[in-house]
Amino acid sequence: MTLTYSELIKLLAAMNGIADESEGAFKARLRHFQRLGFPRGSNTGKGRRAEYDLDMVMQLALAIEFMQAGVSPQRTVDLISKNWLETRIYMLFAAAPGELKSDDGRVLSNELALCVSPESLRDLSTDGESEIDYYEAFEFVEVSKLPAFFGQDAINPTIGVFYRWIVILLRPLVAILFLRMEEHLNIDAEKAFSELQSNVEKQAKLIEEGARAINETLAKRNDQHPQT
């Protein structure tokens, strides 16, 4: 599945209830992400038509949720880009149509919340701001376990503080994306998500096989040249 820029705008505007007369202003807001090269692969250069696959669409749909919560474009890009591989897995998990089971037979809930503690003044703090700050900034929590997550055992997040959170319910977000894709673009959303899931699994398998090959090569090298 790929979308043109106009199809992308139509989809995201529909997801967020943007009025027709406000489409120009909405595009201007989204250009902040484009200038930052987000999502990766969206800047094709002059003379080339931009195309957006489902992976990019999911990133932008999530980015707009942060925009709605008042997070700056730069920090939104930092948060999503540095946590996307894990976030994508959880969003695909949330898109599953019914109950899922683990290998040992346990029922897994796909009613999930993405929780992050925003820190818009981090650059002014005594700790300062660095490139690594935003890695592992997202917490993924089953919705039924949110009271405990925010209760007495509340964790200290990677960034921010334990008493300030943005919470995004992933299953309703993905459901709205599904619905608007089908309503406004006549796209088979379930098929598109299934194809992305398959591609992600193939990539993960290739990475796993590559890591195993590297480890085997290093082990053989160590056997041939043992350290003294």
Would residue 160 count as lying in a domain?
A: yes
The structural domain count of the chain equals: 1
Supply 23's token pair.
Answer: 């489409």
Q: Has residue 74 been placed in a domain?
A: yes
Residue 118 located in a structural domain: yes
Cβ neighbors of 60 (< 8 A, separation 6 or more) are 8, 12, 30, 33, 39, 52
Q: What is the largest CA-CA distance in the chain?
A: 74
Can you tell me the distance from the alpha carbon of 190 to that of 167, in angstroms, rounded to the nearest whole number? 25
Domain of residue 109: give its range.
Answer: 55-224
Instruction: Using alpha carbons, select from 77, 66, 69, 65 the residue that is nearest to residue 34.
Output: 77
The reply to whether 191 falls in a domain is: yes
Structure tokens at 220: 């053989």
What pLDDT shows up at residue 58? Answer: 96
Domain assignment present for residue 168? The answer is yes
pTM: 0.85
Within-domain flag for 43: no
Q: 22 in a domain, yes or no?
A: no
Q: Whole-angstrom Cα distance, residue 48 to residue 9? A: 18
* Residues linked to residue 139 through DSSP beta bridges, in sequence order: 115
Question: What single DSSP character describes residue 136?
Answer: T
Residue 5 has which token pair?
């820029």
Q: Does residue 141 lie within any of the structural domains?
A: yes
List the pLDDT tens digit at each of the 228 positions of the chain.
899 999 999 999 999 999 999 999 999 999 999 999 999 887 666 667 789 999 999 999 999 999 999 999 999 999 999 999 999 999 999 998 777 767 777 777 899 999 999 888 888 888 778 878 889 999 999 999 999 999 866 778 888 888 999 999 999 999 999 999 999 999 999 899 889 888 888 777 767 777 677 777 767 766 666 665
